Amino acid sequence: MSAPKPHISLYDKSFNKENAANYKLYVEVSTTAIKQTILDLTTKTFIAFESYQLENIYNEHALAAILKEVLTSNNIYQLNFKNINVAYLNNRSTLIPNAIFDQQKLAEYHKFNFSVSEDDYYLSDKLINLSAANIYSIPKFISTLFNDFINVKFSHFSSALIEASLINAKAEKALSSIYVNVMDETFQVTIIKNQKLALYNSFKYQSTEDFIYYLLFVLEQQDINNEEAIITLTGAVTKNDEIYNTLYKYINTVNFGNRNNNLKYSYIFEETPKHFHHSLFNQFLCE
């Protein structure tokens, strides 16, 4: 089998592998894509981006095989970065308030909501803008692929979405904020009310009808009138997509999100919509 090739590979002309000690590598792993971006710490600028589009990956064992090939074949993983942050995307995460959180009870918390697997490797993210920890599991056969790398930190991709939503809602001073992050097979809904997290959930969908049904159901359960709702979209969606056009039939105000202003973005991203790769670019909020 030939080594996988990224379908997008963008590098700023300033990129220099000799400066890797001044770079952070952010990686996002899911069954539909493997993405990576490099942050230059000296200029606080994202200077590289690569994405592998994955197809016909139906389980995490198949994902592990592809991920192993990427880690072996891509020269970027031979560099000694200051840090490597790996965000894992699955639906096996849950929030635990700090008041009852105990680092020794991750497995116990996890089994409240999810079936137990012998492959589970339990982790937690302490959320800065929420008095809670995000408890999640990564398959051991995924996490061990990074054993040979130094300064590796895992996080759950939802942690970045939650942190970014809370920060944005505070900046906007909105009474109610609804953020919807769209991916190839899933979408995530984060609702902030009065500057506090009211809901985070992730849904699988196969059609636009699925997408609209789940979203409207969430709004109904949260007592939010869809005609008065203001939704901010991030992720893999544009105004030309069926999801956007159908959503606009039910929601009067639909906006696209923006990038975090605390960091800079190379000229290589000029043609990339600013709401794309939202969870990847916000991983730094989980450090």
- Identity of residue 235: G
* 3-class secondary structure per residue, the chain: CCCCCCCEEEECCCCCHHHHHHEEEEEEECCCEEEEEEEECCCCEEEEEEEEECCCCCCHHHHHHHHHHHHHHCHHHHCCCCEEEEEECCCCEEEEECCCCCHHHHHHHHHHHCCCCCCEEEEEEECCCCCEEEEEEEEHHHHHHHCCCCCEEEEEHHHHHHHHHHHHHHHHCCCEEEEEEECCCEEEEEEEECCEEEEEEEEECCCHHHHHHHHHHHHHHCCCCCCCCEEEEEECCCCCCHHHHHHHHHCCEEEECCCCCCCEECHHHCCCCCCCCHHHHCHHHHC
Residue range 157-185: mean pLDDT, rounded: 93
Q: Check: CB of residue 29 under 8 Å from CB of residue 89.
A: yes
- With 0-12 CB in 10 A as exposed, 13-18 as middle and 19+ as buried, what is 222? middle
CB neighbour burial string for 106-140, b if at least 16 within 10 angstroms, e if fewer: beebbeeebeeeeebbbbbbebebbebbbbbbbbe
pLDDT interval class at 79 (50, 70, 90) = very high
pLDDT in tens, 117-156: 999 999 999 999 999 999 999 999 999 999 999 999 999 9
Residue range 45-67: mean pLDDT, rounded: 97
pLDDT in tens, 84-127: 999 999 999 999 999 999 999 999 999 999 999 999 999 999 99
pLDDT in tens, 195-227: 899 999 999 999 999 999 999 999 999 999 988
Give the whole-angstrom CA distance, residue 93 versus residue 136: 4
Tokens of 169: 């809602």
C-alpha torsion 13→14→20→23, nearest 10: -110
Write down the pLDDT at residue 1.
57
Write down the pLDDT at residue 223.
95
Structure-token match 């996890």, residue found = 110
Write down the pLDDT at residue 177.
93
pLDDT in tens, 234-262: 999 999 999 999 999 999 999 999 999 99
235 sits in the region (left: phi over 0; alpha: psi -120 to 50; else beta) called left
pTM, rounded to two decimals: 0.96
Which residues 6+ apart lie within 8 Å of 30 measured at CB?
Answer: 54, 63, 88, 89, 90, 157, 183
Q: Check: CB of residue 198 under 8 Å from CB of residue 233.
A: no
- Identity of residue 129: N
Q: What share of the chain in percent tops pLDDT 90?
A: 93
Which residues 6+ apart lie within 8 Å of 258 measured at CB?
Answer: 274, 275
